[in-house]
Chains A and B, each alone.
Chain A
Amino acid sequence: MNGIHDLGGMHGFGPVEREENEPVFHADWERVMVAIQRDTWTRGVFTLDEFRHGIERMAPARYLEATYYERWLEGITRLLLEKGVIAAEELHERETFFAEHSEAPATAPIATPLPPTRPRLPREQISSIRPQTALPRFALGDAVLTRHDAPPGHTRLPRYARGKRGVIARYHGVHVFPDTNAHGLGEQPQPLYSVRFAGEELWGANAEPGQVVYLDLWESYLEPANEQR
């Protein structure tokens, strides 16, 4: 989607602010958020692609205002509700409990013994690489042109690199395709390539000299480039 998350090339954000000796976590809830993300994804509640798209669907102003882990919270909550893993009523009840009992442990409102934790997905399934079932269409050094569509759903071709000419720099093998896997339309694995773009191709007269961008792009994002384009 042409969403707010697709930030490459935007102007206006100013200098990169850095915190001296930044701690790994700024608050306890961030630790919990990382644990929740890891377990929901690796235990198969949703795919990594669904996770990203859950965040991408945040309202743009909210996205920019939120901290990184707040975006995780919003994206994961959305997915858990959409998938019926949790119900809105029980979330509201539980939130109210912890708002009133901020020091209570996580197990405090749980009446029954904890069930066994569902198993993690096998490593091969968590990895994005899949068996090579089709030959790659492009070879190293091939000139390619990226598509310039505007898909409303999840994609990993950023706007700044659409309709641009690049060169195949590396072949990564066959990988799960995010554009379908984020929408419950299956993994649909495809050849994945590293594609090199000259700065001038992306930014024209405003490119810095001697600048190159590499993107990892799936085969269906690419067409052969002809001589003119």
Chain B
Amino acid sequence: MGKNHPNVDAYVVSRVRALESLLLEKGILAPDAVDRVVQQYEQDTGPLLGARAVARAWTDPAYKERLLHDTTGALADFGLKYDALIVVENTPEVHNLVVCTLCSCYPWPVLGLPPTWYKSPAYRSRAVLEPRALLREFGLEIAPEREIRVWDSSAEMRYMVLPMRPPGTEEWSAEQLLPLITRDCLIGVAEPLVPVAAAP
């Protein structure tokens, strides 16, 4: 449902350009605003800050405690001021999944901009209704004895999953673990990538 591709009506482009122009003229849009969006969301393509935090949490038990219980302070270690994040931990008993049914709220500062599927009516409607069936379609089978907790981001608190560390990576450093931590596993629709070989 909905369009995922920009085959938009021509008026859309003209209208956006018109708003851009008027808002520049009225001193509401900063002249460098678009460049800064490009810089922040397209050019700074280092690892997601959320992934870096998870990699450190996996290798540093004290940091993991801080990430879970003093998230603002833990994120500040990476130079980020963000006081609205709640980190929810996957365990053998619990799998976590994040959604915003009402609009598409997402933890931009740690995960960047959300993918289109996260914002789709299909995901927004089904994540709270039938998460197990939905995750199966994503290729993730959650054992029946595990509880699935769906976090519907209805206020300004934002949610990120702390996945379980893949087995066989116990000797790995944070830098080695980082590529396993995908955006999708931080939303809860996937597990971290499984290393091809147990040894790095």
Contact = CB atoms under 8 A, between A and B. Distances in A.
A22 interface: yes
Contacts of A11: 125, 129
Contacts of A200: none
B146 to A, nearest CB: 7
B6 A67 contact: yes
A158 B17 contact: no
B125 A13 contact: yes
A209 to B, nearest CB: 7
A127 B21 contact: no
B103 A210 contact: no
Contact of B15 (A5, A43, A73, A108): A73
A17 interface: yes
A13 B41 contact: no
B145 interface: yes
Given A7-B124, A22-B116, A216-B153, A203 B129 contact: yes
Which interface residue of A19, A32, A123 has the most chain B CB atoms within 10 A?
Answer: A32
Contact of B128 (A95, A194, A213): A213
Contacts of B155: 128, 156, 172, 175, 178, 192, 216-218
Contact of A70 (B8, B103, B138): B8
Interface stretch (B29-37, B50-58, B168-176): B29-37
Interface in B16-65: 16-31, 33-34, 36-38, 41-42
A17 B13 CA distance: 25
Contacts of B22: 86, 90-91, 94
Which interface residue of A38, A39, A91, A102 has the most chain B CB atoms within 10 A?
Answer: A39
Contacts, number: 271
B140 interface: no
A7 B116 contact: no
Given A26-B6, A68-B104, A40 B137 contact: no
A36 B148 CA distance: 37
Nearest to B143: A210
B194 interface: no
Interface string A27-50: 101111111101110010100100
B121 A7 contact: yes
Contacts of B29: 35-36, 39-40, 117
Contacts of A98: 13-14, 17-18, 21
Nearest to B38: A31
B33 A38 contact: yes
Which interface residue of B42, B101, B115 has the most chain A CB atoms within 10 A?
Answer: B101
Contacts of A194: 157
Contacts of A91: 15, 18-19, 22
A106 B34 CA distance: 11
29 contacts: A6-B101, A8-B152, A9-B125, A13-B122, A18-B116, A19-B115, A24-B41, A26-B6, A29-B13, A30-B6, A34-B37, A35-B34, A40-B29, A68-B119, A70-B3, A80-B19, A95-B11, A116-B27, A158-B101, A158-B152, A175-B156, A178-B155, A208-B130, A208-B131, A208-B148, A209-B144, A213-B149, A216-B153, A217-B155
Interface of A: 5-11, 13-19, 22, 24-27, 29-36, 38-40, 43, 45, 48, 52, 55, 64-68, 70, 73, 76-77, 80, 85-86, 90-91, 94-99, 102, 106-110, 112, 114-118, 123, 127-129, 156-158, 160, 172, 175, 178, 192, 194, 202-203, 208-218
Interface of B: 1-6, 8, 10-31, 33-34, 36-38, 41-42, 81, 83-84, 101-104, 112-113, 115-117, 119-126, 128-134, 137-138, 144-157
Which 9 pairs, one residue from A and one from B, show the smallest C-beta to C-beta distance? Answer: A8-B101, A216-B155, A94-B18, A13-B122, A35-B33, A115-B27, A27-B6, A98-B17, A128-B156
